[in-house]
Amino acid sequence: MSNTVQARGFEFRKNSNKRLKALGFFLPAMILLVMFYIYPLFLTVFFSFTNKAMTGIHAKENNFVGFSNFIKVFMDPKFRRAIWVTLVFLLFSGIIGQQVLGFFYALLMKKKHKAIRRFVGMSIIAGWITPDIICAFIFAAFFAKNGTLNLMIGSLGIKPISWLFEFPLVSIIIANIWKGTAYSMLMFQAALDGISDEIMEASTIDGANSLQNLRYITIPMIKQTFSITFVNVTLGTLGTFVMIYALTGGGPSGATTTLAVFMYEKAFVAYQVGYGMAIAFIMLAIGAALSIMYVQAMKGDQ
Amino acid sequence: MKTRKNIFQNAVLILIGVGFLVPMLWIVLGSFNPEASQSITIPKHFSVKNYAMVISDMSILQGFFMSFVIAGAQSLLVVIISLSAAYPLSRFGLKRAQTITFSLLFLTAIPMTAVMVPVYQQFIMMGLVDSVFGTILFMTTTGLPYGIWMTKNFLDTVSVELEEAAWIDGCSTFQSVTKIVLPLMKPGIFTVSIYTFVRSWGNFFVPFILLQSSSKLPAAVKIYRFFGDRGEVYFGPLCAYAILYMFPAVLLYSFAQNYMSKGFAMTGAAKG
């Protein structure tokens, strides 16, 4: 009896104009997403083909200029330099720094004493939960001429250096590693905890050494975590703005101007909207490609 | 042999931990040191003078207040709107549910920095530049893809049968959600709201671009305007300001750690 009533109740809910009801539930989210996400993305495509500016004669009327923004962008040696700086920054701070080191830390921390795991974990996570702007202040002081780094190496007899002027790119790379490593580390820790001890023991009994275990068991088993963190770290590094802008302002003379900083300068300081949009378009295209990889990796997870 | 390797590995780990801690230590020690400089120094006498200076400054307090308003309103809106959107995705057995869910996941990964250029144009066209309301709406939108994705995953873990029983007893969908689903989803709602709040609290770029009046700036931008633009920086108050600014984020993080790790395991997590 109760079964049929329940079934009928469920049927009733199911058939009562499900799609219309679903639409009603979606509506608030949809309005916002279309207004502030989808529409701006279309704007990017549209404006990157016009000569729009924020001030001057081109502010009111803007004309279709075809690919000239993109040609201008790619011909600009400053843009090409920004691409190069971004790639170096990405490779050293994102891929090698955050991802490889994060994996290495997670591996080292496996099966260690709880107190040590806690201490190391906390000190790495501290940077991660610190707001970007505070990280920038922390490293501005750390790398300053009379800052902590010089104090430390001074005890070894090395003369103080103004790090942000002498080695600007290295400095922001270190700062970004400090800031971001926790994410990869946490992801890898979770993945490593998921590998059962039995598999490891079995292969050890079969005569595999720890390096072989790593190469043939651990890494293949957490391949997916590698792709997910790779995409997220890359996206995060591409979008890094505050850390660089507040530390070096993109300088000295463009040495730390990544795509994000370059785009900000063009769109919000020089007011060349079309040019800025073209850079935004390129960044979004890279982002979209990475996002598709991310979704594919997550799909495999489900 | 084994123990020797272990001791070596532990030593490396402790060294790494200390290395990560050193830059942070400066801000903690400096906040209690009225004569703080750019390098780590143990204060000759601990004092809370820096803190007193920071919290007696009206403009700084206003910054904290604005951060609370923006992050609070954003979290509330994200939780409500996400729940509303995630409900049919989880419950109605829609054919396209998976496509929609994965499109949302796609949106979570779009670089925000690049979106700000067109969004600023749009804010000019809509007359929303320097509007706190507009900023909150936009920030809510940025939180939605991940919010809906997480809420849907949590909703999937709440059994449908309980809800059906409530319907038979005459509850409306709204009642079954508020009386049955919500209490069971507490960990999920905590995760989404805390995650949104912490990210919003630390966000610099969005208010930096969209807000202009000094009275509307949240703490993140205010600290930059206050200390970043000045030639001569007072490091003691800067450190105290930073500690006060970080405090809510750290507190919420440690409070939510258990919930968060659950959410992480379930959703793979987005970059924080």
CB contact at 8 A, A170 and A244: no
pLDDT value of position A6: 46
The ranges of chain B with pLDDT < 50 are: 265-272
Residue A2 has pLDDT above 50, yes or no: no
Residue A70 has pLDDT above 50, yes or no: yes
For B160, residues 6+ apart whose C-beta sits below 8 A from its C-beta are: B91
Residue A55 has pLDDT above 70, yes or no: no
pLDDT value of position B272: 36
Mean pLDDT, all residues of chain A: 80
pLDDT value of position A8: 45
Higher pLDDT, A88 or A226: A88
Beta bridge partners of A50: A64
pLDDT value of position A276: 82
Residue A45 has pLDDT above 50, yes or no: yes
User: What's the mean pLDDT in A98-121?
Assistant: 85
Question: What distances in angstroms separate CA A276 from CA A31, A230, A241, A269, one per listed residue?
Answer: 26, 27, 15, 10
pLDDT value of position B69: 95
Question: Any chain B CB within 8 A of the CB of A177?
Answer: no
Within the 187-246 window of chain B, which residues sit less than 8 Å (CB to CB) from chain A? 198, 201-202, 204-205, 209, 220-221, 223-224, 227-228, 235, 238, 242, 245-246
For A7, residues 6+ apart whose C-beta sits below 8 A from its C-beta are: none
pLDDT value of position B77: 95
Structure token digits, residue B85: 């959107």
Residue B130 lies in a domain: yes
pLDDT value of position A3: 46
- So what's the ipTM on this one? 0.82
Chain A residues touching residue B110 (CB < 8 angstroms): 37, 41, 284, 287-288, 291
**What is the third-level CATH fold of A68-301?**
MetI-like fold (1.10.3720)
Convert the pLDDT of each residue in A146-203 to its tens digit.
Answer: 877 877 888 887 777 888 887 888 889 999 999 888 888 888 888 887 777 787 788 7
Phi-psi region of B268 (alpha: psi -120 to 50; beta: other; left: phi over 0): left
Look up the domain containing B69 and give its range: 58-232+246-267
Residue B123 lies in a domain: yes
Beta bridge partners of A64: A50
Residue A52 has pLDDT above 70, yes or no: no
| pLDDT > 90 fraction of chain A, expressed in percent and rounded | 5
Count how many domains chain B has.
1
pLDDT value of position B76: 95
Q: Alpha helices, DSSP H only, in chain A?
A: 2-15, 18-33, 39-47, 68-75, 77-89, 101-109, 114-129, 132-142, 148-154, 163-166, 168-193, 197-205, 210-213, 219-221, 223-239, 242-247, 259-264, 273-301
Per-domain boundaries in chain A? 2-35, 68-301
Peptide bond between residue B23 and the one before it cis (omega within 30 degrees of 0)? no
Does the global pTM surpass 0.90?
no
Give the best-scoring range by mean pLDDT among A47-51, A208-212, A246-250, B119-123: B119-123
Question: Any chain A CB within 8 A of the CB of B248?
Answer: no
Q: For residue A64, what is the DSSP state?
A: B
pLDDT value of position B269: 40
Within the 223-282 window of chain A, which residues sit less than 8 Å (CB to CB) from chain B? 228, 231-233, 235-236, 238-242, 246, 260, 263-264, 267-268, 273, 276-277, 279-280
Task: Name the residue with tokens 């769109």.
Answer: A267
Task: Name the residue with tokens 């609070």.
Answer: B72
